[in-house]
Amino acid sequence: MTITALIVAAGSGSRMGGDTPKQFRPIGGTALLARAVDAMTSHPAIDAVHVVVGPDQRALAEAALAGRDVGSIVTGGATRADSVRAGLAAIGEDGIVLVHDAARPFCPPAVIDRLIAALKDADGAVPVLAVADTLATGRGKLDAMVARDGLLRVQTPQAFHVEDLRYALGQSGKASATDESSVMVAAGLKVATVEGDAMLEKITTADDFARAEALAAGRLVVRTGMGFDVHAFEGDGPIMMGGIEIAHERGLAGHSDADVVLHAITDALLGAAGEGDIGQHFPPSDPQWKGASSDRFLAHAAALVRGRGGLIDHVDCTVICEAPKVGPHREAMRARVAEILVIPLPAVSIKATTTERLGFTGRGEGIAAQAIATVRLPG
């Protein structure tokens, strides 16, 4: 049976203020929407993920989801029910659908497991938490206390048999609803409850964002990767180093543009992310990379880190050569690397050394570079 996740992200996020809807704002360098999608795509039981956004939000969604495996980005409607109907039109006629809010970016896999299991004996299933606070009615003063026995806080994702949810939405007509379980219950269908999770708290206010930032930071693990590259001198200059062209009487041999700095940093980032090495991603045997600009390799490695919800904290590269002199070009190289990686300039270090005339670099036969990258990735 096909299991599809439908991420609803068509809201304006007006309560947050600002020009950018909250679902496209970053937490720990990754947009809320992207984090919600990652939680679904990383679960082995989910076959496909579709996203519903507002009429003017496609470009924002495409930017936030770059590099992610999303089945489609669908334009939603004026109400939540309209948006869900539009999303359902993009998926199959049967199977299971998990409808999830983009404003709940941290979904534990165990919640998804419980929801899917509950559908064996129900038309739908929702995660819930008991109400712990004392409840009351009143404006400016307490009028009456409300018994909290039996009251539940309903979260998302919410799981349904596709045909049952379609039926319930058809029965609801133009009635407004805050979630899909409401229309299911109104249509007389059975909705089971499973244990929810505090991680599924909805992000609505600026304070919620601050808490989410702290949570994201606590869920990230610091990882370090190392990279090394070497190219021999060959032919006439100039050479590419650190993403900039440097005048030199001799060029460097290599299948691409032979940029030892960018190659070493690329390998360091790939190592930190556990993504192999530069040769696996850009094989020298593949003619499409002949003469290629190495900024493409570095940008690819950075995208892999961010695609896993990671952050690039710092890169440090040491160039090993007798010539050319690195010092006059150091700041331009730092700026170019920072630009490619989209990180602050202080997060990039470029330095140089020699081997005191020893070895192939000491004899002026080529240039070497070694790099280290520090990233934070979900643990």
Together in a domain, 192 and 265: no
Mean pLDDT along residues 334-348:
93
Domain finish residue from 173, 204, 235: 204
Please check whether residue 209 lies inside any domain of the structure: no
Together in a domain, 166 and 271: no
Together in a domain, 61 and 193: yes
Tell me, what DSSP letter sits at residue 271?
H
Tokens in use for 200? 């599924």
Domain finish residue from 204, 232, 252: 204
Together in a domain, 198 and 331: no
User: Residue 274 sits in which domain range?
Assistant: 220-378
Together in a domain, 308 and 367: yes
Q: Poorest-confidence range of 1-5, 56-60, 196-200, 287-291?
A: 287-291
Please check whether residue 211 lies inside any domain of the structure: no
DSSP tally for the chain: helices H, then strands E? 12, 19
Q: Which of 191, 109, 107, 196 is CA-nearest to residue 154?
A: 196
Whether the pLDDT of residue 176 is over 80: the answer is no
Please check whether residue 247 lies inside any domain of the structure: yes
H or E, element range at 292: none
CATH at residue 140: 3.90.550.10
Together in a domain, 275 and 326: yes
What span, in angstroms and rounded, lies between the C-alpha atoms of 369 and 362?
A: 14
Give the number of domains in the chain: 2
Tokens in use for 201? 């708290």
State the pTM of this model.
0.62
Which residue has 């690195």 as its token pair?
326
Together in a domain, 191 and 50: yes
What span, in angstroms and rounded, lies between the C-alpha atoms of 102 and 9?
A: 5
Q: Which of 102, 86, 89, 98 is CA-nearest to residue 33?
A: 102
Together in a domain, 141 and 271: no
263-309 pLDDT, tens digit per residue, is: 999 999 999 999 999 999 998 888 888 888 999 999 999 988 877 77
Please check whether residue 214 lies inside any domain of the structure: no
**Three-state DSSP class for residue 319:** strand
The predicted structure's pLDDT at residue 13: 57
Higher per-residue pLDDT: 379 or 335? 335
Please check whether residue 212 lies inside any domain of the structure: no
Together in a domain, 234 and 192: no
What span, in angstroms and rounded, lies between the C-alpha atoms of 66 and 60?
A: 10
**355 Cβ contact partners less than 8 Å away, ≥ 6 residues apart:** 320, 361, 362
Backbone φ and ψ of 222, nearest 5°: -75, 130
Domain finish residue from 172, 204, 236: 204
Please check whether residue 215 lies inside any domain of the structure: no
H or E, element range at 207: helix 206-219
CA distances (Å), origin 236, targets 106, 248, 281: 54, 8, 28
Please check whether residue 210 lies inside any domain of the structure: no
Percent of the chain with pLDDT over 90: 69
Together in a domain, 311 and 187: no
Tell me, what DSSP letter sits at residue 330?
H
Tell me, what DSSP letter sits at residue 155?
-
Upper half-sphere CA count for residue 181 (Cβ side, 13 Å): 22
Percent of the chain with pLDDT over 70: 97
For the chain, strand residue ranges (E) read 3-9, 26-27, 30-31, 48-53, 72-75, 96-101, 124-130, 135-137, 144-146, 152-154, 158-161, 191-195, 220-236, 239-241, 244-246, 250-252, 311-320, 348-353, 366-378
Please check whether residue 261 lies inside any domain of the structure: yes
Together in a domain, 191 and 241: no
CATH at residue 334: 3.30.1330.50
Where do runs of H (alpha helix) occur along 68-156? 80-88, 109-118
Together in a domain, 124 and 245: no
